[in-house]
Structure 1
Amino acid sequence: MESNSAEAPPPTASDVLFQHTPLDLHRKQMRLLRITQNNSSEIKCELENFTYDVSGKQGTPPYWALSYVWGAESPICHITINGKPYPIRPNLYNFLRERRLQSDDNYIWIDQICINQRSVDERNHQVSLMSEIYRNANGVIIWLGKRDEEAELGLRCFQEFQNPYYCDLSEFLHLPAGTTAGKANIGKWVFLDGGPKLKEKVIRSINVIFRNPFWTRLWIVQEVLLGRTVFVQQGSLWFHLDAMSRFERMGFRCDGLIASPEVAFTARGHTAAWYRQRDLKWMISEFCEFGCQDPRDKVYGLVGVVECGTTVPVDYGKSAEEVFIDVIIAFLHMWKTESQEPDKVRKELKHDVQTLYRLVVNMIPDKVERYFEKNDQDHFRFRLEKLDEWWRATERGKNDDRK
């Protein structure tokens, strides 16, 4: 029998899925996630909006910040936030599942959840505040992913490096009871007294850790430099990043160890306060070859660390090419603070061509020839007509500011 009434439409995603409560983008606001403890097989969480003052210590509860790889988009996993389902990627789901097992109800900041990724305005607002978010957190958790048996020996070795002069290797190296390894200097024992087979086994496991895609991320620069304390976790095993720093310092003993520049920086960087005193030009030159999915983050992933000199405003409404032009304009303003003479600015440019070339190659490789050309010595130089174009634009901006 036909019905005269219209059939009700199926529910849309907006009716079913969790929707973020908007942030006040004119204030310093952020969201924090907390896993609620229960016996359900689901991962149930609460997400709350908080307003904080300049110091970041008023208006927000203690929280941790997560540093991780977003990873594969599928299969989509669902958690429950404020009573409604919310889709996340598998790597983050594995972290939250492990976090729940620790019976830890502390708040945590996770960009994939705490930022409404569908809102460009909110992404701009939150990325601009990200340096404060990481700096004011109790600490940073580096998540390497779910348990990996091949990495466990290396993880436990790093755990022991947290107290390198008094540690017990007997259990996880399956040594006989009463071995002298129990209270010895771990570096000396593993890499000298333990013999070549043990050394090879440990290094092979550590190389598995070092090959983790996490270490290729550009965002680790900001997250590691700004964290008060940094822990590394894979599965249920974790260690303080200081342990990796100790290990990295004795790398000359470790033939066969494959540590990328990113790994070496992460091991040392969090103890080097002078990094935070570098300008944008230096940071781009040093780190623009680190990896990120969004080419605009070759710049935006570094501006939060820059504490001096000219910077670039975060605007995800711009294309990668427009962000590169913003960097050029920032460089021009920096040079013009020292000289009003176009010829001297061009001379300064010669010192920075390599930095700009590396940046454009990493952001918009299909448009390199638009900004650079080769000379007879196969060296690149900036197209001066482009510089003149931007020079005139900055002069117009300067005049507009005077009106």
Structure 2
Amino acid sequence: MSYVPYPEYYLDLPSDSIRLLRLLPNEDKRAPIQSKLFTYSLRDWGKRTHPYDALSYVWGSWDNPQSISISEQNFENEHVLPVTRNLHEALSRLRHRSIDRILWIDAICINQKNDREKEQQIQFMAKIYAQADRVVVWLGETADGSDRALEEMRVAGGKKSTDSFNSEAIPQAVVALLQRPWFQRIWVLQEAAAARHVLIMCGSAEIDGYAFCLGVDSFLDSYKLRADLQSVARSVTYLIRGAIFRPKYSMGRLSRSTLDISSLDELMDMYHARQATMRHDKVYALLGMSSDDLSNAGLSPSYEVPWEDLFQRLVKYLLCQKISVETWCQTEIAVVRSKGCVLGKVSSVQSNIGSEDRQGVDVMFMNIWGQPKNTEVQSEHWNLHASAKSIQNGDIICLLQGTSKPLIIRLCKDHFDVVMIAFSPPEKIPVGDGYIEWPKLLQSETIFTRDFMLVWDWNISHPKEYEALIQTSKVAYSGQ
């Protein structure tokens, strides 16, 4: 049975407001959790009457739901609200012995049975986390040596040397901590990116977010972990580390709060493999981090839009409205057809460059303009944003007709896999003995002579599950 908050617990929200949770104190740690909801206006952030903490956590399984007591503003009657076990454990740890604690928690402060309210509220989430006095990251209860791992990271973060992980059990405990579900979820990226102060909690142990990042970086410098685990850890710590430099108040419009982290295509390249309960959220969770003007993109949060339509709109926005895109309701796979050209291929790849989550590639350029065959092949080094899929030697740099940025693709039987959907090109591209400016290259009509079929598969952990879909797509396409 699926437990979610019932609509009758919630009063309607004004369009410019959120709910905050007042967690009532109790000296008895085992006492039932009691709380109250009240409405808080977003209209004037400079006159805050209720400083609050925002919780960043993973909902967890509904297999063993727990209950809390809750009432709304001006309501005398209390109601029983089911929550996941993980959230119940977090509330138990956060509850103070003698004073109220004001929190924002998505599963409680948003009516999860009201899609319209969810669509409105998630557009405020960047601002909600940005205006919180503190973002509390709840990693879960103590397990697998997590308390010792956090303590060792605290020590390592304060040292210049990297000898804090000598005990054989400590690296295992740190790896187990970094493999917890929180690091894999897509919503936590926006929450970490908006925060001005972060506190990491795991069971009874806690550590300042900046110290945590220093400790994780020290550990990653000392031990060579799997590339995927290292990438996940660095991408999160990079966002947390920036918290202390963020301004106190966001100046974004109320109707669209954004953190201006990066363009949407770069965000999708980096984070599309992250996990979400609903596929829609793999798009909506990144909108608040995007620096793009998305007012006409057709991507505003709406859970009534079928997933395959949302995915198709996204691909067309990122690439070009004129390309052919096929998507399916139960998959995270898009098949793209377009005319294009090959610009070059990757000849070597650097690992991610430190905390900025960048990667370097050397590119050998092809003879796209028909120069004499004895013309020397030119190469350049490009510094690119990180990507969910690792770039490999031999990957192809291509440009689709009508697009403004190149893609990185990989030959796979009778189609190409998309490795990177788009990246900002240099101002000039090598051509023969000289260079051509990128805008001029885009205007050319003669170079787009090749037919491409590209497959963009977001399921990194189980690739090659799209062969049947490709065959179906081929049959449908040939019949047009």
Q: Fold conserved (TM > 0.5)?
A: yes
Partner of 1:36: 24
Partner of 2:35: 45
Partner of 2:58: 69
Letter aligned with residue 403 of structure 2: E
Q: Deviations over 1:231-271 (max 9, x none)?
A: 11011111112123212333465236564422121112234
Mapping of residues 181-330 of structure 1, within 5 Å: 187-191=161-165, 198-251=166-219, 253-255=221-223, 257=225, 259-271=229-241, 276-310=260-294, 312-330=299-317
Mapping of residues 11-30 of structure 1, within 5 Å: 19-24=9-14, 27-30=15-18
Letter aligned with residue 262 of structure 1: V
- Closer/same/farther in 2, CA of residues 335 and 351 from structure 1, 3 Å limit: farther
Structure 2 residue runs without a partner (length 5+): 72-77, 247-258, 324-338, 341-398, 410-417, 422-454
- Closer/same/farther in 2, CA of residues 234 and 252 from structure 1, 3 Å limit: closer
- Closer/same/farther in 2, CA of residues 154 and 104 from structure 1, 3 Å limit: farther
For the residue of structure 1 that corresponds to 2:167, the secondary structure is helix
**Higher RCO, 1 vs 2 (CA within 8 Å, ≥6 residues apart):** 1
TM-score (normalizing by structure 2): 0.60
In 2: Cα distance, 1:75 partner to 1:281 partner = 39
In 2: Cα distance, 1:80 partner to 1:372 partner = 51
Letter aligned with residue 235 of structure 1: G
Letter aligned with residue 89 of structure 2: N
In 1: Cα distance, 2:79 partner to 2:106 partner = 19
Letter aligned with residue 190 of structure 1: S
In 2: Cα distance, 1:122 partner to 1:49 partner = 14
- Closer/same/farther in 2, CA of residues 124 and 359 from structure 1, 3 Å limit: farther
Partner of 1:78: 67
In 2: Cα distance, 1:242 partner to 1:203 partner = 20
Letter aligned with residue 56 of structure 1: W
- Closer/same/farther in 2, CA of residues 294 and 349 from structure 1, 3 Å limit: farther
Deviation at 1:301, TM superposition (A): 0.9
Letter aligned with residue 50 of structure 2: P
Match of 1:358 among 456, 460, 466: 456
- Contact 1:51 1:60 (8 Å CA) reproduced: no
- Closer/same/farther in 2, CA of residues 359 and 277 from structure 1, 3 Å limit: farther
Deviates more, 1:144-153 or 1:324-333: 324-333
Letter aligned with residue 109 of structure 1: W
Q: Deviations over 1:124-153 (max 9, x none)?
A: 001111111111111211101112262121
- Closer/same/farther in 2, CA of residues 252 and 159 from structure 1, 3 Å limit: closer
Partner of 2:93: 98
- Closer/same/farther in 2, CA of residues 332 and 149 from structure 1, 3 Å limit: closer
Give 1 or 2: higher helix fraction: 1
- Closer/same/farther in 2, CA of residues 22 and 245 from structure 1, 3 Å limit: same
Mapping of residues 133-212 of structure 1, within 5 Å: 133-148=128-143, 150-161=145-156, 164-165=158-159, 187-191=161-165, 198-212=166-180
In 1: Cα distance, 2:11 partner to 2:468 partner = 43
Structure 1 residue runs without a partner (length 5+): 1-12, 166-184, 192-197, 337-341, 375-379, 390-403
- Contact 2:27 2:98 (8 Å CA) reproduced: no
In 2: Cα distance, 1:335 partner to 1:137 partner = 42
- For these two proteins, the number of residue pairs brought into alignment is 333
In 2: Cα distance, 1:79 partner to 1:334 partner = 48
Percent identical pairs in the alignment equals 22
Give 1 or 2: higher strand fraction: 2
Q: Deviations over 1:283-338 (max 9, x none)?
A: 111110111121111111100111334352111111211211221343367999xx
Deviates more, 1:140-149 or 1:116-125: 140-149
TM-score (normalizing by structure 1): 0.71
- Closer/same/farther in 2, CA of residues 367 and 114 from structure 1, 3 Å limit: farther
In 1: Cα distance, 2:170 partner to 2:101 partner = 34
Letter aligned with residue 351 of structure 1: P
Partner of 1:348: 403
Letter aligned with residue 358 of structure 1: W
- Contact 1:77 1:93 (8 Å CA) reproduced: yes
